[in-house]
């Protein structure tokens, strides 16, 4: 078995663990740095909004021998605006030019027919008004707001308000990073991108809810014992679901990565980039936030409670007394060493 496979097996069996919660301020710092980079990219470069949001014209040509590079140059010369050209099947071209009114579109169509050496009547021209894009954006914002409210209500009822707050912060974190990546790479934002952004919200919550469920189960009657602090039980929940989170994320990223890097990259099917980049970045960010952001935030909020402070004091006092007597310590958390006890409560119950 490879070293990675052996490590995965030990994590699954609970033979090793990592102190995710104890090093949470490192993860907070990394997330803050990434988020600031995303915000700066949005402020400086902005988003490359598609024609659906800016308005303009889309020309579809018949089969032509003209290359994409040459067609781009011809379209920009004819219109005076930036053009995006994609090669479709059978040698046809899709030419997208923003900020054109009907009169300008007709003139550009005539010039394109001459430059591309195709009949003007065979070029299909579709005009898109910016008001349509505004409607899409408004509906997307409305859907996002409703989704956030429902998520907070559900998590507050199913778990507790601290978990709802942590999950909401993790969602905002994931969306900010995804949008920031679009600003950095300059990919066009289309309705497909909006669909991708809304889709990743569910993926982002999936792993978070799995960890929260383990934490809820593991922290039942927590104040009636003196073996673990709340942060240690949270750590056990993360480690107990870590392999599952990695496996599900990798399996989800593989087909999305194929769409992005093979379809959008090697095959030059640029339209696939609209949704695949948002899904790819969102899936990765969601897996990261469920482990490094959401649960540690719950710990920070929960351990402010007097009951949790008193529990931590009792646990540490008991361990200090045991150490003074020379007795072996029980489970004092995660320091990267082998600790056979490290396993989520739910999985431990299934083993008994």
The model's pLDDT over 260-307, given as tens digits with 9 standing for 90+, comes to 877 665 655 556 667 888 888 888 998 899 889 999 999 999 999 999
**Angle CA(170)–CA(291)–CA(350) in degrees, nearest 5?**
125
Give the pLDDT confidence score for residue 64 in this predicted structure.
84
For the record, the structure tokens of 299 come out as: 């710990």
CB-based burial label for 351 (10 Å; 0-12, 13-18, 19+): exposed
pLDDT score, position 268: 56
CB 32 within 8 A of CB 173: no
Contact 98/81 with Cβ under 8 angstroms?
yes
Task: List, as one string, the DSSP characters of 208-229.
Answer: HHHHHHHHHHHTTTGGG-SS--
Strand (E) positions, the chain?
48-49, 56-60, 83-87, 93-98, 124-128, 188-189
Q: What is the pLDDT of residue 299?
A: 93
Q: How far apart are CA 76 and CA 341, in angstroms?
A: 66
Establish how many alpha carbons lie within 13 A of residue 276's alpha carbon, considering only the half-sphere containing its beta carbon.
18
pLDDT at 4: 56
Compute how many other C-beta atoms are within 10 angstroms of the C-beta atom of residue 69: 9
Nearest Cα residue to 260 out of 270, 252, 250, 251: 270
> What is the predicted pLDDT for the residue at 349?
39
Angle at which helix 273-289 crosses helix 191-218, to 10 degrees, equals 20
pLDDT at 347: 39
CA distances from 224 to 184, 212, 298, 310, 315 (A): 51, 20, 20, 11, 11
Q: Who's near 265: CB < 8 A, 6+ residues apart?
A: none
Q: How much is the pLDDT for 271? A: 60
What domains can be seen in the chain, in order of their start residue?
3-48+132-351 (1.20.1640.10), 56-128 (3.30.70.3400)
CA 177 to centroid of chain Cα atoms: 7
- Please tell me the pTM assigned to this model: 0.76
Low-confidence ranges of the chain (pLDDT < 50): 1, 332-352
What is the per-residue pLDDT for 328? 63
Residue entry with tokens 């800016």: 54
Q: Hey, what are 120's tokens?
A: 């003007």
């Amino acid at each position: 078995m490879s070293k990675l496979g052996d490590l995965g097996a030990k994590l699954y069996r609970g033979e090793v663990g990592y102190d995710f919660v104890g090093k949470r301020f490192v993860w907070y710092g990394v997330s803050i740095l990434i988020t600031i980079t995303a915000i700066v990219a949005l402020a400086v470069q902005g988003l490359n909004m598609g024609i659906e949001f800016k308005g303009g014209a889309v020309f579809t040509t018949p089969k032509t021998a003209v290359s994409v590079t040459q067609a781009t140059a011809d379209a920009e010369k004819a219109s005076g605006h930036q053009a995006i050209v994609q090669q479709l099947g059978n040698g046809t071209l899709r030419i997208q030019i923003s900020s054109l009114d009907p009169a300008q579109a007709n003139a550009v169509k005539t010039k394109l027919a001459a430059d591309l050496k195709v009949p003007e009547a065979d070029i299909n021209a579709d005009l898109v008004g910016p008001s349509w894009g505004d409607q899409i954006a408004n509906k997307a914002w409305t859907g996002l707001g409703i989704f956030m409210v429902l998520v907070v209500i559900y998590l507050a009822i199913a778990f507790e308000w601290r978990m709802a707050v942590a999950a909401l912060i993790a969602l905002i974190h994931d969306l900010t990073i995804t949008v920031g990546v679009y600003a950095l790479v300059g990919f066009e934002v289309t309705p497909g991108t909006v669909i991708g952004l809304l889709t990743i919200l569910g993926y982002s919550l999936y792993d978070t809810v799995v960890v929260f469920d383990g934490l809820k189960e593991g922290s039942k009657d927590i104040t009636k014992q003196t073996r673990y602090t709340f942060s240690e039980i949270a750590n056990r929940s993360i480690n107990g679901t870590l392999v599952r989170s990695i496996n599900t994320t990798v399996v989800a990223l593989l087909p999305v990565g194929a769409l992005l890097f093979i379809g959008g990259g090697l095959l030059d099917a640029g339209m696939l980039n609209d949704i695949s980049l948002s899904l790819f970045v969102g899936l990765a960010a969601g897996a990261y936030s469920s482990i490094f952001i959401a649960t540690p935030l719950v710990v920070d909020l929960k351990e402010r409670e007097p009951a949790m402070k008193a529990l931590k004091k009792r646990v540490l006092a008991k361990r200090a007394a045991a150490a003074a007597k020379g007795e072996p310590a029980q489970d004092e958390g995660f320091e990267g060493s082998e600790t056979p006890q490290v396993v989520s409560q739910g999985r431990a119950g299934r083993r008994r």
